[in-house]
Amino acid sequence: MHLRCTLVLRTGRCADRSGPGDTVRATTAARSPFVPGVPLSLLHTAHGHRAPVWLAAVALAGATLAALPVAASSGDGDALPAPRPHATDFSYLGASVTPPTQGDCASVGRRCFTPQALQNAYNVGPLHAKGQDGRGRTIAIVDSFGYDQAEADLKIYSQQFGLPLMCGMPDVACKPGMPTFTRLKQGNRPVNEPPPGSNGTGQEDSNGWALEVALDLDMAHAMAPGANIVLVSSSTAETLGTQGFPQLMNLEQKVVDDGMADVISQSFGSGEEAFHSTAVLQNLRHAFQSAASKGVTVLASSGDGGSENDFKAPVKNPAAIPQASVGWPASDPLVTSVGGTFLCLDGATGTHVDNSSAPAACSTFPGQREVAWTFAGGGFSHVFSKPAYQNTLPAGSTPIGSMRGVPDIASQASSATGVLVRDTAPGATGVKCPSGDPCSSGWYVVGGTSASTPQWAGLVAITAQIAGHPLGQINQSLYDLANGPDYGAYFYDVTTGNNSNPDFPTIPGFAATKGWDPVTGLGTPNAAALLPALAAHS
Radius of gyration of the chain (CA): 20
CB 84 within 8 A of CB 410: no
CB 250 within 8 A of CB 275: no
- What backbone phi and psi angles, to 5 degrees, belong to 423? -145, 120
- Chain centroid, CA 280 distance in Å: 23
Instruction: Report the sign of the C-alpha dihedral through residues 345, 163, 217, 17, in that order.
Output: positive
**CA diameter of the chain:** 59
Of the candidates 76, 74, 91, the one whose C-alpha atom is nearest the C-alpha of residue 27 is 91
CA angle 40, 43, 47 (to 5 degrees): 145
CB 181 within 8 A of CB 45: yes
CA angle 227, 229, 234 (to 5 degrees): 160
Read off the DSSP letter of residue 137. Answer: -
Of the candidates 294, 226, 231, the one whose C-alpha atom is nearest the C-alpha of residue 258 is 294
Q: What is the pLDDT of residue 26?
A: 32
Q: What is the pLDDT of residue 81?
A: 64
Instruction: Report the sign of the C-alpha dihedral through residues 504, 509, 512, 515, in that order.
Output: negative
Other beta carbons within 10 angstroms of residue 313's beta carbon come to: 18
Half-sphere exposure for 123 (CA within 13 Å, toward CB): 14
Instruction: Report the sign of the C-alpha dihedral through residues 146, 147, 152, 153, in that order.
Output: negative
Other beta carbons within 10 angstroms of residue 426's beta carbon come to: 16
CB 255 within 8 A of CB 288: no
CA angle 90, 457, 99 (to 5 degrees): 40
Name beta bridge partners: 43. Answer: 183
CB 341 within 8 A of CB 409: no
Rounded Cα distance, 411 and 434, in Å: 30
Of the candidates 260, 224, 158, the one whose C-alpha atom is nearest the C-alpha of residue 466 is 224
Torsion of Cα atoms, 239 then 440 then 303 then 323, to 10°: -60
CB 494 within 8 A of CB 512: yes
CB 66 within 8 A of CB 403: yes
> What is the enclosing helix (H) or strand (E) of 41?
strand 40-43
β pairing state of 403-406 and 379-385? antiparallel
User: In order of start, what are the domains of the chain with their CATH numbers?
Assistant: 90-192+201-536 (3.40.50.200)
Q: Tens place of pLDDT for every residue, the chain, 538 residues?
A: 443 332 222 222 232 333 344 433 332 222 222 222 222 223 333 333 222 222 222 233 345 567 555 444 334 445 566 555 545 578 888 889 999 999 999 999 999 999 999 999 999 999 999 999 999 999 999 998 888 899 999 999 999 999 999 999 999 999 999 999 999 987 665 545 554 555 555 555 566 678 889 999 999 999 999 999 999 998 764 332 345 888 899 999 999 999 999 999 999 888 999 887 888 889 999 999 999 999 999 999 999 999 999 887 556 677 899 999 999 999 999 999 999 999 999 999 999 999 999 888 899 999 999 999 999 999 999 999 999 999 999 999 999 999 999 999 999 999 899 999 999 886 544 444 555 454 657 899 999 999 999 999 999 999 999 999 999 999 999 999 999 999 999 999 999 999 999 999 999 999 999 999 999 999 999 999 999 999 999 8
Read off the DSSP letter of residue 67. Answer: P
Instruction: Report the sign of the C-alpha dihedral through residues 257, 260, 261, 265, in that order.
Output: negative
Q: What beta strand segments (E) does 60-134 contain?
A: 84-85, 89-94, 111-113
Rounded Cα distance, 28 and 536, in Å: 43
Q: What is the pLDDT of residue 358?
A: 87
